[in-house]
């Protein structure tokens, strides 16, 4: 999908460059388009003329207009990394989030205890962040999400709640969704009582800190559910549905480790190699690129895992690729979604 959209956007740019001047800058019809369906707003984006873009919008230009390849001005701006243009379109009403008012697919019978696939027609992307203990990168994350008006999902431990209550309040105040990540983030849950007690205590602390109820979604520490499926069934006793991961950022691997995946290499993989049309899960690192094929044809969503804490000693955490990821996704036509829909 990424390659296909990339091809279309290159085509648009080529059409702009090779065609004659379409409109006069001093006199224009905001509804006029060229033979490829490109509007004056597309032209303003290509030329980086944010002043003209503002004038066009003020004069009634359609900010969601598409050309023959269904490329909108904001997608073109994101592809060209014209961040101020992207900001302008968002401020003027272009939504980068899935429309929460639209009808949802029923999830209970499709997914059972674990959410990995997402069968609606729109290609959606879920930014999810696990908050285990460290809040080092949280301020940067929240500022960036606010900048792009994106609602994300945070999985919070009870220990994080105790240590950083004000940060949790900021997450909630920002309109983000909060799920349960257990109390202690134990690497080895032995039995159902151990797990349920930690889930329950975490939601109790969350209520005490925020005055709100925790969303009934959770994520197993270290994704232990893959080896211990009983955890999924146990959590359902408290009404929790598990949110799996289809794309790992690998932000916990330190530089110098043979599995270390640099930010630059990740972004390159993200742009050129990750084909979610045919894959269920991707697990890439500095050595391997593992692809897990899906069995059905209904997969449209990507659930990406990052962390709120600093894991790399040099400070070059994966979270600092986030803005490039956001721009890449917008340019490819993805909408951002959150995991609240999966709560029963």
pLDDT digits (tens, 9 = 90+) for 8-24: 555 555 455 444 344 44
Residue 154 scores a pLDDT above 80 = yes
Give tens-digit pLDDT for 239-297.
999 999 988 888 888 888 888 888 888 888 777 766 666 666 777 777 776 666 555 54
Distance CA 279, CA 247 (A): 10
Confidence of residue 217 (pLDDT cuts 50, 70, 90): very high
The answer to whether residue 147 sits within a structural domain is yes
Tokens of residue 210, six digits: 């925020």
My answer on whether 276 and 333 are in the same domain is: yes
What is the pLDDT at residue 256? 85
Asked if residues 247 and 282 have their Cβ atoms less than 8 Å apart, the reply is: yes
pTM: 0.88
The answer to whether residue 101 sits within a structural domain is no
Name the domain boundary from 66, 91, 116: 91
What is the pLDDT at residue 110? 56
My answer on whether 220 and 275 are in the same domain is: yes
My answer on whether 69 and 133 are in the same domain is: no
Asked if residues 174 and 142 have their Cβ atoms less than 8 Å apart, the reply is: yes
Between residues 68 and 23, which one has the greater pLDDT?
68
The answer to whether residue 98 sits within a structural domain is no
What is the CA angle 232-237-241, rounded to 5?
45
The answer to whether residue 115 sits within a structural domain is yes
Q: Mean pLDDT over residues 136-143, rounded?
A: 95
Name the domain boundary from 34, 59, 91: 91
My answer on whether 162 and 265 are in the same domain is: yes
In the chain, what's the furthest Cα-to-Cα distance?
72
Q: List Cβ neighbours of 152 (8 Å cut-off, separation of 6 or more).
A: 126, 127, 128, 129, 141, 145, 176, 177, 336, 338
Residue 5 scores a pLDDT above 60 = no
Tokens of residue 152, six digits: 């994300």
Q: List Cβ neighbours of 151 (8 Å cut-off, separation of 6 or more).
A: 97, 145, 175, 176, 177, 336, 338
The answer to whether residue 22 sits within a structural domain is yes
Between residues 121 and 228, which one has the greater pLDDT?
228
My answer on whether 132 and 71 are in the same domain is: no
Confidence of residue 43 (pLDDT cuts 50, 70, 90): very high
My answer on whether 286 and 330 are in the same domain is: yes
The answer to whether residue 99 sits within a structural domain is no
DSSP 283: E
What is the pLDDT at residue 295? 54
The residues with which 241 forms a beta bridge, in sequence order, are 217
Q: In CATH, what number is assigned to the domain containing residue 222?
A: 3.20.20.370
The answer to whether residue 37 sits within a structural domain is yes
The torsion angles phi and psi of 90, rounded to 5 degrees, stand at: -65, -45
My answer on whether 83 and 202 are in the same domain is: no
My answer on whether 33 and 114 are in the same domain is: no
Residue recorded with tokens 């530089």: 255
My answer on whether 70 and 114 are in the same domain is: no
Distance CA 8, CA 64 (A): 17
My answer on whether 272 and 179 are in the same domain is: yes
First to last CA, the chain: 31
What is the pLDDT at residue 28? 67
Distance CA 343, CA 338 (A): 11
Name the domain boundary from 61, 91, 121: 91
Distance CA 208, CA 206 (A): 5
Q: In CATH, what number is assigned to the domain containing residue 42?
A: 1.25.40.20
Q: For residue 171, what are the CA distances in angstroms to 16, 153, 157, 174, 324? A: 42, 9, 14, 5, 22
Q: Domain limits at 211?
A: 108-342
Residue 226 zone, left/alpha/beta (φ > 0; ψ -120 to 50; rest): alpha
My answer on whether 230 and 288 are in the same domain is: yes
Q: How far is CA 325 from the centre of its chain?
A: 8
Q: How many separate domains does the chain show?
A: 2
My answer on whether 133 and 232 are in the same domain is: yes
């Amino acid at each position: 999908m990424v390659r296909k959209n990339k091809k279309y956007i290159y085509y648009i740019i080529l059409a702009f460059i090779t065609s004659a001047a379409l409109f006069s800058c001093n006199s224009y019809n905001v509804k006029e388009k060229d033979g490829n369906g490109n509007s004056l707003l597309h032209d303003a984006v290509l030329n980086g003329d944010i002043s003209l873009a503002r004038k066009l919008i003020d004069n009634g230009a359609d900010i969601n207009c598409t050309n023959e390849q269904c490329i909108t001005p904001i997608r073109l701006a994101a592809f060209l990394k014209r961040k101020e243009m992207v900001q302008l379109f968002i401020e003027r009403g272009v939504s980068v989030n899935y429309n929460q008012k639209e009808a949802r697919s029923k999830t209970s019978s499709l997914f059972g205890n674990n959410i990995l696939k997402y069968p609606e027609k729109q290609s959606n992307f879920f930014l999810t962040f696990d908050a285990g203990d460290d809040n080092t990168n949280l301020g940067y994350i929240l500022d960036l999400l606010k900048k792009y008006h994106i609602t994300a999902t945070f999985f919070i431990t009870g220990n994080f709640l105790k240590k950083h209550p004000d940060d949790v309040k900021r997450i909630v105040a920002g309109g983000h969704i909060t799920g349960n990540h257990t109390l202690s983030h134990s690497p080895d849950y032995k039995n159902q009582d151990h797990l349920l007690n930690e889930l329950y205590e975490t939601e109790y602390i969350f209520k005490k800190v925020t005055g709100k109820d925790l969303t009934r979604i959770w994520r197993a520490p270290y994704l232990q559910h893959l080896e211990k499926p009983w955890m999924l069934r146990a959590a359902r006793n408290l009404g929790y549905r598990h949110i799996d991961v289809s794309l790992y950022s690998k932000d916990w691997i330190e530089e110098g480790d043979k599995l270390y995946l640099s930010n630059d290499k990740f972004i390159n993989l993200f742009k050129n190699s990750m084909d979610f049309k045919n894959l269920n899960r991707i697990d890439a690192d500095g050595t391997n690129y593992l692809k897990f094929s899906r069995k059905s044809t209904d997969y449209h969503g990507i659930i990406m895992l990052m962390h709120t804490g600093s894991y790399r000693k040099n400070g070059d955490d994966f979270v600092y690729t986030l803005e490039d990821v956001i721009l890449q996704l917008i340019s490819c036509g993805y909408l951002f979604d959150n995991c609240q829909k999966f709560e029963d």
